[in-house]
Structure 1
Amino acid sequence: MADDAKAAPQNAGPAADLSKLEHVQVELVAPPFVHAHEQRATGQPRVVQFRMVIQEKTLVIDGEGTQIHAMTFNGSVPGPLMVVHQDDYLELTLVNPASNTLTHNIDFHASTGALGGGALTLIQPGEEVTLRFKATRPGVFVYHCAPGGAMIPWHVVSGMNGAIMVLPRDGLKDRDGKPLTYDKVVYIGEQDYYVPRDKDGKYKRYATPIESYGDTLQLMKGLVPSHIVFNGKVGALTGENALKASVGETLLIVHSQANRDTRPHLIGGHGDHVWATGKFNNPPEQDLETWFIPGGAAGAALYTFRQPGLYTYLNHNLIEAVLLGAAAHIQVEGQWDHDLMSQVQPPTAIK
């Protein structure tokens, strides 16, 4: 267990001399958007440097005004998607401002050793730390806070998780080894929240994060979320917040769930090429209707839009999508193809 997060590795030798490698500073952007990156690496491995600030903040997570004391990486739920290439070094400076109240760290599922970096990044309010690891395995991976004990699931379900994408140096490939490319990449983080109710059934509010801890922990033990949402809140990616695309565009959807299983499905489309468990050394499956991402993992799916209109991308546990909030919209512009679908007769009264 990560209760040992405070224990630093023993007998550690000197760090590798990476002074001759190119060092690149990248500014992170909030999901569903992703910072600019090459799909295929054009040079030698680099040291890719990121800076991320932990923010403890109040979030409204639905249209009813339900509030939580969220814990976030860089202010968003999920935290930003970081993109590097295999054999690059990812270097992260993690900042826990003095205005925060809790201890935090980061566990990268993409890394090797020291509890995913959690043992080397535990910081108190008013501290910062820099971690570097070599990205040896291509794929999409979860990262999350893991400060130890019951604090681990509490921090994760309070929003403190995100994903990293490690691209193969020569880019994505289909199952026959042919190159695959995308026009856009979007990042969807699926989040389960556990908001306690009062004796009248109304969602409770608390003055501080720690004040909510006991009630939230009891609710978490029941394994029944109050909300399951995409990108932090109900409606974050629907209606006016819908994602945009055009007929002929290829979208790479990166989808993570740090705590629960999920079943992504694109209504009106498919997964042309899908890495359901997110690891690019494995050949992608093709033409999927729904795919399965286990809790604590991230997956990736490529789809080229062939028809205009409104698409719904959701968790196909329809209770979780429709009643709890795990859904997104993609509005696609373009010309309708009647060969793919046509309404032969409009609705008419039965004679």
Structure 2
Amino acid sequence: MRTPVLLSTVAALALGLALPGLAAAQDAAGAPPAPVLDIVRRATDLPPPITTVGPRHHIVNLETTEVIGQVEDGTTFTYWTYNNRVPGPFVRVRVGDTVEVNMTNAADNAMMHNVDFHAVTGPGGGAAATAANPGETKSFTFKALAPGLYVYHCATPMVSQHIANGMYGLILVEPEGGLPAVDHEFYVMQGELYTEEEMGTPGLLTESVEHLMNEQPTYYVMNGAFKALTGDNALQAEVGDTARIYFGVGGPNKISSFHVIGEIFDHVYRDASLTSPPITDVQTVLVPPGGATVVELKFEVPGSYIMV
């Protein structure tokens, strides 16, 4: 019988879980309550490795939305998202592939949005081509020229505000031949929420540009919300399994010292460079805002582990 292993998240302020939203927010004018969404992206929500022979043409459809999501039980926030989740969808291509991006700014949004892919070679990473007012759809196409794991994010001014509110994700450009096989792959991103109210205040929180500019987050979050990757959402494996974690930092301000308490990373693709040999036996990986890393580990001892 195989023995389970659980990885869950924690942080000094908060890294964490959003429960499905049954509560609702009421605005000051007494309008009907808006629905509260579960904006958490599950760590297992990513496409499998590419197996088809290339070159390939990928179509990436993104919708930018401004929605009320649950930060923690009884506490909500107005997130700005790609496809109603934080982080946005995990995009997976292979070097040499063509990527067509269609970005729709939902008609009921208040803000202009766009998307900047760090995997794009060319000015702006697609930001200018996709700048869309509410109700508009903009498109562009690029060729994935360099393998690696890259951040994408909204680059509409004030850029840090759009990122802090949830507009970030990862795109993986696999090298030729792909990556070595593992038993599990996971998608995890760290972000920050800046609010006028203190952590744990019930009701709809108010974003704070002042705290954002002063780099004073109310919450650190993994995959969008408080305790997002705990309980049923924890990363699960069995003793003897190998796992690869695609980890990025949306930011916009804080560095991550990425570490699994009680484990050692067997392989680390430093700065998410997939064409350089990985370094081995690493305890902690520093990842800057707008950066990423790829780590691999084998679970040899059963139990529950904390990922920070």
TM-score class, shorter-chain normalisation, is 0.7 to 0.9
* 1:261 paired residue number: 255
Against the structure 1 CA distance between its residues 298 and 129, is the aligned structure 2 distance closer, same or farther, given a 3 Å change threshold?
same
* 2:304 paired residue number: 310
C-alpha deviations, 1:146-195, integer Å up to 9, x for none?
Answer: 113xx2100000001011111112123xxxxxxx3212211011111101
Asked if the contact 1:196/1:203 (under 8 Å) is kept, the reply is no
Query: How far, CA to CA, are the matches of 2:306 and 2:270 in structure 1?
Result: 19
- The alpha-carbon deviation at position 282 of structure 1 amounts to 2.0
Query: Is the aligned partner of 1:166 residue 2:173?
Result: yes
Query: Is the aligned partner of 1:234 residue 2:258?
Result: no
Query: Is the aligned partner of 1:108 residue 2:102?
Result: no
Query: How far, CA to CA, are the matches of 1:112 and 1:83 in structure 2?
Result: 17
* 1:185 paired residue number: 185
Residue type at the aligned position of 1:62 = E
Asked if the contact 1:31/1:81 (under 8 Å) is kept, the reply is no
SS of equivalent to 2:226: coil
Query: Is the aligned partner of 1:281 residue 2:275?
Result: yes
SS of equivalent to 1:292: strand
Asked if the contact 2:43/2:233 (under 8 Å) is kept, the reply is no
Task: Give the TM-score, by structure 2 length.
Answer: 0.81
Structure 1 residue ranges without an equivalent (≥5): 1-28, 173-179, 207-211, 315-351
* 1:33 paired residue number: 44
Residue type at the aligned position of 2:58 = V
- The alpha-carbon deviation at position 66 of structure 1 amounts to 2.8
Query: How far, CA to CA, are the matches of 1:265 and 1:128 in structure 2?
Result: 39
* 1:51 paired residue number: 61
RMSD: 2.0
Query: How far, CA to CA, are the matches of 1:221 and 1:36 in structure 2?
Result: 35
Query: Is the aligned partner of 1:145 residue 2:154?
Result: yes
Query: How far, CA to CA, are the matches of 1:114 and 1:120 in structure 2?
Result: 10
Against the structure 1 CA distance between its residues 289 and 49, is the aligned structure 2 distance closer, same or farther, given a 3 Å change threshold?
same
* 1:82 paired residue number: 91
Larger strand fraction of residues: 2
Total equivalences in the alignment: 266
The higher-RCO structure (CA 8 Å, 6+ apart) is: 2
* 1:177 paired residue number: none
SS of equivalent to 1:280: coil
Query: How far, CA to CA, are the matches of 2:203 and 2:226 in structure 1?
Result: 18
Q: Once superposed, which parts of structure 1, at least 4 consecutive aligned residues long, lie more than 2 Å away?
A: 33-39, 201-206
Alignment of 1:306-345 (within 5 A): 306-314=300-308
Q: Percent identity?
A: 34
Query: How far, CA to CA, are the matches of 1:168 and 1:305 in structure 2?
Result: 26
Query: How far, CA to CA, are the matches of 1:283 and 1:134 in structure 2?
Result: 24
